[in-house]
Amino acid sequence: MIERAIAWDMDGVLADTEEAHYRSWRRMFAEEGLTLTREQFKETFGMANPEILRRWLGEGAPPERIDALAARKEALFREDVSEVRLLPGVRRWLEWAKAEGIRQVVASSGEMANIAAIVTALEIGNYFDALVSGAFLPRSKPDPAIFLQAAGAAGVAPERCLVVEDGVVGIEAARRAGMRCLALTTTHPAERLQGADLVVDDLTDLDEATFAGLFAAGR
C-alpha cells in the first residue's frame, strides 16, 4: 500500500478558533494602548506571531519585545481554549483517514502549547501521528518548511501528502512543498483560494471518492 498523509492546519480547518484568537490579539494590543481591526487580523491568518508583530510594530521592534508580546498573546488565547469547537465534518474525516491508514499530522503556525491545548480540549489526539508547530521555524508560510517538516514527521514523501488549509499563504506553502491542497472558505472567499486543487465551503461538502481522489492525482 502506498503511504499517504494529511497535513491539517489547525485554525479555521480543524477548529473554529477565530474569535478566541481575535479576542486575545485585541486584549494584548489594548494592554499596549494599541488597536486592531478584524480586517487587519484576517490579513495575518497563517503567519507566525513574530512575523505578525513585526508587521504591526515595524521591523525595528526589539526582539525581546516581540517575544514578550507573543507570549502574552498566547497566554490570553489559552484562557479561551475551552470555547473552541470542531468545525463541521472534521471528526468524520479524521475517522475516515485513520480507518484508511492515512497518516495525519497537525501542521499549524501556532505555538505547540496552543496546538496541544486545542487537541486535548477537543479530544482528537488519538487521530494524529504528530503535531508540528511552525512558531519557531526560521520562515513562516508561505515558506514550505512547516509542511515539509510535517511530511518528515509522518514518514511520507511530500508528493504523497495532502494539505488541508484555509489561508492564502498556506495554499502557497503547500504548492511550494509539492503537495496538493484542499482549501476551505472558513476564512477567505473562494476567489482568493484559487491556488488550491479543490475549494469547498466546509468538510461536509465532500464525499469519500472526492477526498481519496486528491491523493490519486498526486504530483
Dump pLDDT digits (tens) for 128-143: 999 999 988 888 899 9
Element (H, E) at 85: strand 85-86
Tell me what pLDDT residue 219 has.
46
- Go through the chain and tell me how many residues it has: 219
> Which grid cell is 109?
503556525
Mind listing the pLDDT tens digit for each residue in 70-119? 999 999 999 989 889 999 999 999 999 999 999 999 999 988 999 999 99
- The SS3 of residue 117 is helix
Pairing of strands 85-86, 15-16: antiparallel
The percent of residues in the chain predicted with pLDDT above 70, rounded, is 97
Strands 130-133 and 198-200: unpaired
Q: 170 Cβ partners below 8 Å, 6+ apart?
A: 9, 46, 141, 142, 163, 181
Choose the CATH number for 18-82 among 1.20.1250, 1.10.150, 1.20.58, 2.40.50: 1.10.150
Domain locations along the chain: 5-16+85-216, 18-82
209 pLDDT exceeds 70?
Answer: yes
Predicted pLDDT at 217: 57
Angle formed by the axes of helices 49-57 and 63-79, nearest 10°? 120
- Cell 497537525 appears where? 106
Q: Which fold would CATH assign to domain 5-16+85-216? A: Rossmann fold (3.40.50)
Residue 46 pLDDT more than 80? no
Three-state SS for 32? coil
